[in-house]
Structure 1
Amino acid sequence: MLEHMDRMGEVSKPLRKIGAISFSFFQVYLYGLKGDGEAQQVEWSKIQTPTDEVVVPYDTLAPTPADPEETKKLLDKLVVLKLNGGLGTTMGCTGPKYIMEVWERSVIEVRNGLTFLDLIVIQIENLNKKYGCSVPLLLMNSFNTHDDTQKIIEKYSASDIEIHTFNQSQYPRLVVDDFVPLPSKGRTDKDGWYPPGHGDVFPSLKNSGKLDALLSKGKEYVFVANSDNLGAIVDLSILILVLIVTPKTLADVKGGTLISYEGKVQLLEIAQVPDQHVNEFKSIEKFKIFNTNNLWVNLKAIKRLVEADALKMEIIPNPKEVDGIKVLQLETAAGAAIKFFDHAIGINVPRSRFLPVKATSDLLLVQSDLYTLVDGFVIRNQARANPANPSIELGPEFKKVANFLSRFKSIPSIIELDSLKVTGDVWFGANVILKGKVSIVAKSGVKLEIPDGAVLQNKNNKRSIQFAVPEFRTYLAAY
């Protein structure tokens, strides 16, 4: 890696012309890799399970102050920061004229015509109104999302909420073959660059000037969360420095977890795990919690650590391909900073505080009757007896949001659903009800339409499928 660093002097000149990049921070990222371009791995024998003193159970936290004035004093010290730099490429949001002519995941419509950003604004508006406080909203954008976000927030100009934006860093993708930055080879458009992960939030908050501005206004704490996590709401019992974790499920086996390592609490990501221990890392029996990427952090501590250049977080290499060229993106995770903060702890929160929408299968859950919308908060329907959400697996025909929405006349009722698997050219009618375990597979080249009002309960159409419809029944041969 040092050999590659020596060559950086040859190619740094075109990189320094880009104002958005902090060249020194990028060099730190390079030094954080091993010579072969892989992440530094942990010594497996040193890993210990964190105790309740390190990862505190949520139900042991102090209750919300009963005195509204005390609550107001706490909230007046708070800032809400949403990580808004990622595109919704997983769900096909890659072109203009989509929802509200923007590309980010944060502006996908969730329900009742409201987007993630709408819900975030409504939540903070209601909080400020209820307690007479002034909690501002910060959006950390990337060069991918900045321009569109600036247009979007104009719609909130009449709102009482104070909204600020800033951009995270812009780093060059590295060509795998020789570790030379892609822009130095002539690829100077957006594809030559990338935003270096949400771990960049701390230096970017400082470098943007927002951190000092917030401190000058008496702000002391920041609540950081992904813009697409509908469960990440302000919780008055967590106004301390924490990394929030939640019980791990089979859907989260690749997610980071908290460990005790060399006397400190630390975030462990799968990229740091030796190959022979990956299956052990994925075990929900050994590693029972995972990182939700919700953090409550002291602003003065951020300033102290960034100015001291003390946040030496583990580098996560993210392989990509640009026009057939294999490249690396060197990224960091915000939660990895936990080991650098004094007296940092985790909190094991209920799953209700982790409701991300990363794919259309997640979108189906939050748009269904499994949840209701109250004052901007997505609340789980108490009619659901099973504490776990249904497992949803949709085929590639449903991957893009536009295709997903077109295939449902209305989102089915899934209150009593355990699991759903849909494969092939399947279309859902209105007022469909799904119960138990349902698998729907359309044969290649065959369009399968689920009629209006159909009730599917414990059905697998590899054998046969029966749709119970009011006033008549339709039987389909096995596809």
Structure 2
Amino acid sequence: MADEKLAKLREAVAGLGQISDKEKSGFISLVSRYLSGNEEQIEWGKIHTPTDEVVVPYDTLAAPPEDLAATKALLDKLAVLKLNGGLGTTMGCTGPKSVIEVRNGFTFLDLIVVQIESLNKKYGSNVPLLLMNSFNTHDDTSKIVEKYANSNIQIHTFNQSQYPRVVADEFLPWPSKGKTDKDGWYPPGHGDIFPSLMNSGKLDLLLSQGKEYVFIANSDNLGAIVDMKILNHLVHKQNEYCMEVTPKTLADVKGGTLISYEGRVQLLEIAQVPDAHVDEFKSIEKFKIFNTNNLWVSLKAIKRLVEADALKMEIIPNPKEVEGVKVLQLETAAGAAIRFFDHAIGMNVPRSRFLPVKATSDLQLVQSDLYTLVDGFVTRNAARTNPSNPSIELGPEFKKVGCFLGRFKSIPSIVELDSLKVSGDVWFGSGIVLKGKVTITAKPGVKLEIPDGKVIENKDINGPEDL
């Protein structure tokens, strides 16, 4: 039955003119692995907690060289790659998420460019920036990148693969059933970065320029900056792959974690965990770290493994319903590739290297006085004594970036805030200070305005009378 399905699918895919032969074969390979049902199951009893040799504590790293020439030599081995395939749809935006304004008029992309420019300027190095787009973000990004034409940085863009969504009940590609617009296709997750880097020609270009490592990170993670200590460690130890992990908090219990398994370091995702062990997986006692998706990878190793077709990462089936049609997307994650590389390690880094902006509540954190912006680097305010950030929950009225910005005359001071929960039709004046635990709830049909300059500490506010 599976063979029959695959044969029909293969025939249909062969007739799709919109994608390359390499994309077709990559897609068929993914589907045939999925249909074979041979995905390895994790045996819970074989899982071990990694030692400090496998997950290296950041504070044990040697200091990087201090002289300019040695630092330049290190940086000249590096390329930076940002995953730029995502749209800002969850935050109410239509284009690439990386062009959302983060702070002082700077977008994510602006900050990334400024950071790398300042490194290149300071050390006379040539660290290039690569953006892996999807077919959803390619056109917009190409236009946006033009504004950096005169900057001191080489910017390369390339696309990750474009695969057809599969109509679930017939197991045929949706585009061959007449769905030819963008909705008929999907980008197959960031695990696709390795073949796409190779197929685009960018991998060989980087190797020809003497680059040895690529630092990969999500474009919306403001903490993912080039770190000389990590780069220095990898170059000296010849690690082919390094995943940055950071201590789990209760907010991160679903994040993937690193384990030692049959003598190799491996990523364990919640989807791989048997139902009976899900609570154990979520425990921050047993699994203390999670994957930030900041990855440092040897370019030569990527070439070797892609050429050998050796990167068989766990398949993530992603069923969706689009326009009333049930479709299936098969995806992979870049972090799952760790077990195929030699001398792969995790690096237990400070939480400051994980500052993603997934929602407007995260945007409020980075736009507030909790952070300052210097040379494109978002740095935490030393006046904040609590090592963890305040927890912020904003109601649906704040979900879209435009609505969020409209409801604040200025972003309140939150250096001394523990938690904030806002629901209903709430509007903030300028110069407001929030401290401790604050809950603000507007009654249905009532507009609640917080006046300019108001200081609110450890209070539940349900109406003007509570101010």
Q: 1:269-296: per-residue Cα shift (whole Å, max 9, x none)?
A: 1121222222222221111111011111
Aligned residues: 458
Q: 1:328-387: per-residue Cα shift (whole Å, max 9, x none)?
A: 221111111111100100000000000000111110100000000011100000000100
Displacement of 1:237: 1.1
Counterpart Cα distance in 2 of 1:228 and 1:362:
10
Counterpart Cα distance in 2 of 1:306 and 1:3:
28
**Residue in 2 aligned with 1:30?**
31
| Residues 116, 228 of structure 1: 8 Å contact kept | yes
| 2:212 maps to 1:211 | no
Counterpart Cα distance in 1 of 2:138 and 2:61:
37
Q: 1:374-427: per-residue Cα shift (whole Å, max 9, x none)?
A: 111000000001000000111111111111111111111100000111111111
| 2:449 maps to 1:475 | no
**Residue in 1 aligned with 2:385?**
385
After TM superposition, the score normalised by the length of structure 1 is 0.92
SS in 2 for 1:434: strand
Matches within 5 A, 1:281-360: 281-360=281-360
| Residues 41, 271 of structure 1: 8 Å contact kept | no
SS in 2 for 1:475: helix
| 2:104 maps to 1:112 | yes
Q: 1:177-198: per-residue Cα shift (whole Å, max 9, x none)?
A: 2322211211111001011111
Q: 1:6-39: per-residue Cα shift (whole Å, max 9, x none)?
A: 3213422333542386111112221333678x97
| Residues 34, 40 of structure 1: 8 Å contact kept | no
- Change in Cα spacing, 1:178 to 1:282, as seen in structure 2 (3 Å) is farther
| 2:177 maps to 1:185 | yes
| 2:190 maps to 1:233 | no
- Change in Cα spacing, 1:17 to 1:408, as seen in structure 2 (3 Å) is closer
- Change in Cα spacing, 1:21 to 1:250, as seen in structure 2 (3 Å) is farther
| Residues 14, 24 of structure 2: 8 Å contact kept | no
Counterpart Cα distance in 1 of 2:363 and 2:353:
16
**Residue in 1 aligned with 2:425?**
425
Work out which of the residue numbers 142, 164, 167 in structure 1 matches 2:159: 167
Counterpart Cα distance in 2 of 1:453 and 1:328:
52
Counterpart Cα distance in 1 of 2:164 and 2:31:
11
| Residues 80, 214 of structure 2: 8 Å contact kept | yes
- Change in Cα spacing, 1:360 to 1:41, as seen in structure 2 (3 Å) is farther
Letter matched to residue 174 of structure 2: L
Displacement of 1:297: 0.9
Q: Please provide the CA RMSD for this pair.
A: 1.7
Counterpart Cα distance in 2 of 1:309 and 1:297:
17
**Residue in 2 aligned with 1:58?**
58
Letter matched to residue 475 of structure 1: E
- Change in Cα spacing, 1:382 to 1:80, as seen in structure 2 (3 Å) is same
**Residue in 2 aligned with 1:100?**
none
Letter matched to residue 123 of structure 1: Q
Q: Once superposed, which parts of structure 1, at least 4 consecutive aligned residues long, lie more than 4 Å away?
A: 38-41
**Residue in 1 aligned with 2:364?**
364
Counterpart Cα distance in 2 of 1:392 and 1:186:
44
SS in 2 for 1:18: coil
Matches within 5 A, 1:459-470: 459-461=459-461
Moved more, 422-431 or 268-277: 268-277
| Residues 174, 328 of structure 1: 8 Å contact kept | yes
Moved more, 138-147 or 270-279: 270-279
**Residue in 2 aligned with 1:76?**
76
Structure 2 unaligned segments of length 5 or more: list them: 235-240
Letter matched to residue 303 of structure 1: K
Counterpart Cα distance in 1 of 2:439 and 2:33:
46
| Residues 373, 379 of structure 1: 8 Å contact kept | yes
| Residues 361, 393 of structure 1: 8 Å contact kept | yes
Displacement of 1:252: 1.1
**Residue in 1 aligned with 2:126?**
134
Percent identical across equivalent pairs? 76
SS in 1 for 2:8: helix
Displacement of 1:458: 0.8
Letter matched to residue 169 of structure 1: S
| Residues 130, 156 of structure 2: 8 Å contact kept | yes
SS in 2 for 1:199: helix
| Residues 245, 346 of structure 2: 8 Å contact kept | yes
**Residue in 2 aligned with 1:468?**
none
- Change in Cα spacing, 1:35 to 1:341, as seen in structure 2 (3 Å) is closer
SS in 1 for 2:284: coil
Moved more, 444-453 or 337-346: 444-453
Displacement of 1:476: 3.9
Letter matched to residue 24 of structure 2: F
**Residue in 1 aligned with 2:238?**
none
| Residues 39, 316 of structure 1: 8 Å contact kept | no
| 2:87 maps to 1:87 | yes
**Residue in 2 aligned with 1:97?**
none
**Residue in 1 aligned with 2:8?**
7
Counterpart Cα distance in 1 of 2:33 and 2:439:
46
- Change in Cα spacing, 1:34 to 1:250, as seen in structure 2 (3 Å) is farther
SS in 2 for 1:414: coil
| Residues 260, 266 of structure 1: 8 Å contact kept | yes
Q: 1:240-265: per-residue Cα shift (whole Å, max 9, x none)?
A: 23111111111111111111112110
SS in 2 for 1:45: helix
Moved more, 213-222 or 342-351: 213-222
- Change in Cα spacing, 1:450 to 1:47, as seen in structure 2 (3 Å) is same
Structure 1 unaligned segments of length 5 or more: list them: 95-102, 466-473
Displacement of 1:40: 5.9
Displacement of 1:175: 2.1
After TM superposition, the score normalised by the length of structure 2 is 0.95
Letter matched to residue 341 of structure 1: F
Counterpart Cα distance in 1 of 2:326 and 2:363:
31
Displacement of 1:43: 2.1
Letter matched to residue 231 of structure 1: G
Counterpart Cα distance in 2 of 1:321 and 1:20:
28
| Residues 40, 272 of structure 1: 8 Å contact kept | no
SS in 2 for 1:267: strand
Moved more, 113-122 or 263-272: 263-272
| 2:240 maps to 1:250 | no
Displacement of 1:85: 0.6
